[in-house]
Each structure stands twice: as C-alpha cells, then as structure tokens.
Amino acid sequence: MILPLASGVIAPVAPGDRPAFWAVTGRLGGHSRGEFAHANLAQHVGDDPDTVVRNLEELAGLVQIQGRELALMQPIHGNGIGRVTHAGMVHGVDSLVSEKCDLGLVAMGADCVPLVLYGSRGVEKPIISAVHCGWKGLVAGVVTATIAELRLRGVNEIQSIVGPAICGSCYSVSPDRRELVRTSTPADVSQAALGVAGGIDVRAGVLAQLARESVSSSVIGGCTFENPETLFSYRKNRKTGRQGIIIAMRENQERS
C-alpha cells in the first residue's frame, strides 16, 4: 500500500464549500520494483503498466475515491490549463482545474514542484487544482495563471499544499537559464528562486509567487536529490519514478 508523506483535509469554511482531501507521496509503499521502487505513479517512465495502475488505485484510496476517478496530466513545462469535468489523461497542460466532486486531480514530479490549490467561492461550490511547475513553468507563470483562472471563476480565498522538489543547491544550471528566471519573473520571485549561487530553487520561487497572490501554503517534503530513499529524483538517477500530489473534493461533509 502507498504510504503518503503527509495527507489531510481542507475543511469547509464557507457555505458552498465541500471538504477536499489531499495526499503527498514519495517512494514509500507501492508495488514497483528496481529503479521505480516502490510508489511510482507514472506510466511513461518504463515501469510495468499494470503495477502503475495498482499504485494509482492506491493513490486514489488515500483521498477516498475510486481508482478510475483520476484526472492526470501530460505536462509540457508551460502554462496551459486543463479544465476538467471527468477522469482521464489531459495532454499538453501543466495545470488541472475542476469543480467536480469525487474526482482526483493529480500532479507528479521527480524534481519539479507538484502542488494543489483549493479555491473557496462563498456560496458556490469551490474549485480545486493540481499544478506541475519546473523552472520553465516558473518562467511561464503556470502558478499565477492557475490562480488567475480560479479568481476569474469567482474564487476569493485560496489555500495550497506544495510537495517535494529539488533545492537550489542541488539544481545547478547554466547562467542563461538563471537569466531567464531573473528577467521573466517579478523581483521577489527571482530573488527567492536564485538565492543560491549557480542554481534555481523552483519551489522557493513558487512559494514567492503564491505569497504575492496572498495564497496560504503548507510545504510537504524536502529536497528530492538529497533524499533518495524516500523521494524520486530525475537529476540524481535519470531512470526513476515519479511521486505525486492529489486533491479531491467530496460531497459528504465527513470522512467515511
């Protein structure tokens, strides 16, 4: 069984709110073997497909939904948003948003930042989102684009859970890549992301973007590169699995 790094519930606070269950995973638990041991969630990395399906079913169970009720994304490191009404794979996006209950939105990573958002709309049903953000997504502004989408649809208060990612000290990059971050993001975001000489701390940049938008955040998990026993890291191992983050709203107001 997949063992989450952390899990919890965002409780209703406004009249229209539903509870949203979330979980963040690493390598722990699961059924994959070899380089993908044990809780790999990605089909595209070379793992046994049937084993990945089993892992995804257990991921869904962490938020009390059926394994077939998962919305997944095939990210392209941009700022595209998939507006989701049913389960399945959404291609060419780095963000999923939905107001459907009992549907799990999933973001994965193995150094990039996975995060989920919960947007309250007062008397209307809330909207949830799952986002994948690497350094290109930081430059493209996928997090801010997602927040803008939520607010365009009436969201007035947003909470976020941010999963594990590679730290700036372990993610050394070329000067031109750092320059792209510096010139493409607001000063406070670039300062946070470029705080370590020679590297990019994408998660620090994401947290700065969230703070700029007055979004409260909880951070789960450490550096993917520094914790190989509990987290997948593409930069460290190349052939490896993907951990994930999931969020799902429920119509019922209490855990079953």
| pLDDT of res. 224 | 98
Q: Is the pLDDT of residue 256 over 80?
A: no
CA-CA-CA-CA torsion sign (131, 134, 135, 136): negative
Mean pLDDT of the region 206-219: 98
Q: Where are the domains of the chain?
A: 4-249
Mean pLDDT of the region 8-25: 96
Going by their DSSP bridges, the two strands 243-249 and 104-109 should be labelled as antiparallel
| pLDDT of res. 168 | 98
**Fold held by 4-249:** CNF1/YfiH-like putative cysteine hydrolases (3.60.140)
HSE-CB for 124 with a 13 A CA cutoff: 15
Give the contacts of 78 (CB within 8 A, at least 6 positions apart): 92, 93, 94, 136, 137, 140, 142
Question: CB burial class (10 A; 0-12, 13-18, 19+) of residue 182?
Answer: middle
Quick: pLDDT tens for 129-140.
999 999 999 999
Quick: pLDDT tens for 65-119.
998 999 999 999 999 999 999 999 999 999 999 999 999 999 999 999 999 999 9
Mean pLDDT of the region 217-235: 98
CA–CA gap between residue 182 and residue 9 (Å, rounded): 36
| pLDDT of res. 252 | 63
Mean pLDDT of the region 141-166: 98
Predicted confidence band of residue 251 (pLDDT cuts 50, 70, 90): confident
Quick: pLDDT tens for 25-43.
999 999 999 999 999 999 9
